[in-house]
Structure 1
Amino acid sequence: MKILIVDDSAMSRKLVLKALPAELQAVVTQATNGEEALAAYHAGHAEVIFLDLTMPVMDGFRTLEQLKREDANAVVIVISADIQPQAQQRVRDLGAAAFVKKPITPEAMQAALYEVGLI
């Protein structure tokens, strides 16, 4: 499975990486903003995208909008500290398959992967 972790915080990316189940057998690519994420997606490095919302250059909302415009087939799981119902609804409307609040835990990761049918 090709996984892309997108977050401007190296610590947050590391937490997502650590929360991934070992049995997933994933090839992981990392990006620090939406532009890098789209480039990685176009290069074939993302079947599953863990996406932060608040980032410089291109935020998660704009990234989701672009993926939706392109009719992308990656599964997007948003991981954000912005847990307002409006933000959660907006990302769902833009095609996100799941929403997990920061900081992510292995249990929350497991639940999100189960919710989207990856485990």
Structure 2
Amino acid sequence: MPTPILVVDDSSIARKMLIKALPPTWDVQITQACNGNEAVAAYRSGKADVMFLDLTMPDMDGYAVLETLQKEGLNSFVVVVTADVQTLARERVRALGAAAFVKKPVDPASIEAVLREYGIKL
């Protein structure tokens, strides 16, 4: 059974790059969202066992998505994917429930390493 994953970024190019960086052997069903509101809706409809989440987006940013998921009893594995690699950003997303943090631009090795580290079946 495919793992439902959600790729959230306001840039369609960034979403495509992340999808291409996913392990080719990983059986997934991919849903995409271009803002936080779409991400929360997809999460609520069960399309995000694993979520790759950008922080900087219009309407609802990644921090607000994490806050919403935390209030709703987060049961999704969230990997923050962002160019903002400041220590404060890392600490804030961890406090909000994100499991991992990956720097943009993503590369396949970093994505696979994070997934394996947390025991995600590939």
Q: TM-score, normalised by structure 1?
A: 0.98
Counterpart mapping for 1:1-119 below 5 A: 1-119=3-121
In 1, Cα distance between equivalents of 2:66 and 2:117? 19
* Partners of 2:55 and 2:62 within 8 A in 1: yes
Letter in 2 for 1:85: T
Partner SS, residue 67 of structure 1 = helix
In 1, Cα distance between equivalents of 2:40 and 2:95? 19
Gaps of 5+ in 1: none
Across the aligned residues of Structure 1 and Structure 2, the Cα RMSD in angstroms comes to 0.7
Structure 1 runs of 4+ aligned residues shifted over 6 Å read none
* Partners of 2:5 and 2:29 within 8 A in 1: yes
Partner SS, residue 100 of structure 1 = strand
Partner SS, residue 25 of structure 2 = helix
Letter in 1 for 2:35: N
* Partners of 1:98 and 1:115 within 8 A in 2: no
What fraction of aligned residue pairs are identical, expressed as a percent?
54
In 1, Cα distance between equivalents of 2:11 and 2:98? 21
* Partners of 2:9 and 2:35 within 8 A in 1: yes
**Offset at 1:72?**
1.9
